[in-house]
């Protein structure tokens, strides 16, 4: 079953899922949804990242009818933050099916009267004891994150709530890992539960997969896109010529492309040598484009969402260079398990350092200390004549400008230095990448004229010029490289906006390709 249509979900639900960017079910959803639609109880040995919310959420929305102020479905989760996040996600789908969704412990209007309620066990117990919530109408009961709840508060309260719900209600327990306590809980409170995926016949008998290397992960907030620009910058400043970025849907890819373009990173389709970022939805098609690229090892792969299963992880990250996945905290257990079963070693990637923010914080602290010392009165006399012409904010900003001078000979940032050094060969020339090539009809003399004319650098400072199909490589004296990049980047060459940067390729190694040269590259 390769689509939600194959799972025979209602047409309006399929349309709602598609609108939210969910077009193909995960491995767990393909196995669990048919079982849940038939009313079976379920033990899911999976965690967030496997598609758990939609697996039980679609069954809830299909099988639970609005009950005029009483919850028909109850989902128990580890934290109030998780309750709100999951309720918001399912609520967008429920908008087309007619049910109301809410969460206890957040900014929700009368959540106790919602058709589908998300909450922590303690919040539900308190609401029931306070008579603001009744569980008499619950027909679908979910425990999402049993092992996490066991660690945080134990399963005693959960057991009490399961006893409150009528015995015939459909029950789902999700846990990764399935601990001994969770297994005992399911045996006691969830009759005839079907386990997905099935437990191995002999513990530890599964063959160990081959070592596929390392895959990194970075913890982000719910807005993963905000973490993209720093990560892409890090990867391009390191070893990567391109970043192949996997998104859940075409709409998501379009939004991500707009965001990255806003931050100066040109995005294109996989294989586009003029774009530093390649956006992909179809992992197999992207893999083919990656394999056709001149140097797959210089293409870093990034998943914006957690790979749901072994096949997805292998298709996305089984080729190319450095592999990285962005995760929200609750997805880490599923990611680690999937990576282990695929054959990857995992390594957490620390948050990006923010030297600028640290400096800004330091300046603010110093200003606060100066403003509270109490000896500023004499300085008001200095400012008095200026206050007639400038606002206090303008004068404060001017004072900051005096405090933080920008020396004209300030050293380049470390990442820029590293890129410049990497692009400089043993022959003393620095190689620049220009995103204009033979397909635009450009000749070496065109590039030389544009680069020298825009930057003011003398033509004798340029060396060999190689014209490739979609880009060009130009040698320049190291002392002039930064000037050329700043002057020409974004300018028009033969009617097309050009991107110019240090070459991120093989440095001093020669590359086999079709080239056009003049005397030392000039015509």
Torsional class of 131: left (φ above 0), alpha (ψ -120 to 50), beta (otherwise): left
Residues 436 and 398 in one domain: no
pLDDT of residue 45: 95
Whether residues 393 and 472 share a domain: the answer is no
Question: Whose CA is closest to 271, among 470, 66, 70, 514?
Answer: 470
Asked whether residue 329 falls in the same domain as residue 258, the answer is yes
CATH, residue 58: 3.40.50.300
pLDDT score recorded for residue 510? 34
Q: Which residues, given as ranges, of the chain have pLDDT below 50?
A: 355-356, 407-410, 506-523
Q: What domain count does the chain have?
A: 4
Q: Within a 10 A sphere around the Cβ of 306, how many other Cβ atoms?
A: 24
Question: What is the sign, positive or negative, of the torsion defined by CA atoms of 6, 94, 221, 278?
Answer: positive
Model confidence over 63-102: pLDDT tens digits?
888 877 889 999 999 999 899 999 999 999 998 888 999 9
Instruction: Give the number of other CB atoms < 10 A from CB of residue 518.
Output: 15
Judge if 139 and 20 occupy the same domain: yes
- What pLDDT sits at residue 76? 98
The predicted structure's pLDDT at residue 491: 76
Classify strands 73-76 and 140-144 as parallel, antiparallel or unpaired.
Answer: parallel
Which residues, 6 or more positions from 132, have their beta carbon under 8 angstroms from its beta carbon? 112
Instruction: Identify whether 433 is part of a domain.
Output: yes
Phi and psi (nearest 5°) for 474? -125, 130
Residue 323 domain boundaries: 213-348
Does residue 220 share a domain with residue 334?
A: yes
Tell me which residue of 140, 133, 66, 147 sits closest to 105, measured CA to CA: 133
pLDDT at 358: 57
Instruction: For residue 451, give the CATH number of its domain.
Output: 3.30.70.330
pLDDT of residue 204: 56
Q: What is the pLDDT of residue 223?
A: 83
Interval 176-210: pLDDT, tens = 999 999 999 999 999 999 999 988 765 555 678 89
Q: How many beta carbons lie within 10 A of that of residue 61, not counting itself?
A: 26
């Amino acid at each position: 079953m390769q689509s939600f249509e194959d799972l025979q979900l209602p047409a309006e639900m399929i349309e709602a899922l598609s609108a939210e960017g969910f077009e193909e079910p995960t491995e767990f959803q393909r196995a669990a949804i048919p079982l849940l639609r038939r009313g079976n109880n379920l033990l899911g040995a999976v965690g967030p990242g496997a598609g758990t919310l939609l697996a039980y959420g679609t069954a809830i929305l299909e099988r639970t009818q609005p009950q005029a102020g009483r919850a028909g479905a109850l989902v128990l989760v580890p934290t109030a933050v998780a309750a709100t996040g999951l309720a918001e996600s399912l609520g967008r789908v429920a908008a087309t099916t007619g049910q109301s969704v809410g969460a206890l412990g957040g900014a929700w209007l009368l959540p106790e009267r919602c058709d589908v309620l998300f909450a922590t066990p303690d919040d539900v117990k308190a609401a029931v004891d306070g008579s603001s919530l009744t569980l008499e109408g619950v027909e679908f009961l979910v425990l999402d994150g049993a092992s996490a709840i066991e660690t945080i508060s134990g399963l005693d309260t959960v057991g009490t709530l399961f006893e409150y719900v009528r015995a015939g209600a459909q029950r789902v327990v999700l846990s990764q890992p399935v601990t001994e306590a969770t297994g005992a809980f399911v045996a006691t409170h969830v009759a005839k539960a079907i386990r997905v995926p099935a437990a191995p016949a002999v513990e530890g008998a599964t063959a160990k997969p081959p070592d596929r290397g390392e895959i990194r992960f970075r913890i982000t907030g719910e807005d993963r896109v905000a973490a993209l620009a720093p990560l892409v910058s890090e990867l391009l400043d390191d070893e990567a010529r391109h970043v192949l970025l996997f998104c859940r849907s075409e709409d998501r890819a379009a939004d991500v492309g707009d965001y990255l373009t806003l931050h100066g990173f040109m995005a294109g389709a996989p294989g586009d040598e003029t774009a530093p970022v390649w956006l992909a939805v179809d992992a197999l098609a992207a893999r083919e484009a990656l394999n056709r690229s001149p140097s797959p090892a210089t293409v870093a792969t990034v998943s914006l969402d957690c790979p749901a299963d072994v096949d997805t992880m292998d298709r996305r990250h089984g080729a190319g260079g450095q592999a990285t996945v962005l995760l929200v905290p609750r997805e880490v257990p599923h990611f680690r398990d999937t990576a282990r079963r695929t054959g990857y070693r995992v390594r957490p990637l620390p948050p990006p350092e923010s030297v600028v923010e640290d400096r800004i914080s330091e300046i603010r602290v110093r200003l606060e200390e100066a403003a509270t010392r109490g000896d500023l009165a004499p300085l008001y006399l200095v400012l008095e004549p200026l206050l007639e012409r400038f606002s206090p904010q303008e004068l404060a900003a001017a004072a900051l400008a005096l405090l933080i001078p920008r020396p004209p000979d300030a050293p380049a940032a470390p990442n820029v230095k590293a890129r410049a050094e990497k692009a400089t060969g043993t022959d003393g020339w620095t190689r620049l990448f220009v995103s204009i090539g033979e397909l635009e009809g450009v000749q070496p003399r065109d590039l030389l004229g544009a680069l020298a004319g825009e930057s003011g650098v003398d033509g004798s400072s340029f060396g060999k010029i190689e014209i490739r199909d979609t880009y060009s490589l130009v040698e320049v004296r190291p002392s002039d490289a930064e000037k050329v990049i700043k002057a020409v980047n974004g300018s028009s060459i033969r009617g097309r906006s050009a991107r110019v940067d240090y070459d991120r390729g093989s440095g001093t190694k020669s590359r086999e390709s079709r080239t056009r040269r003049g005397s030392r590259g000039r015509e």
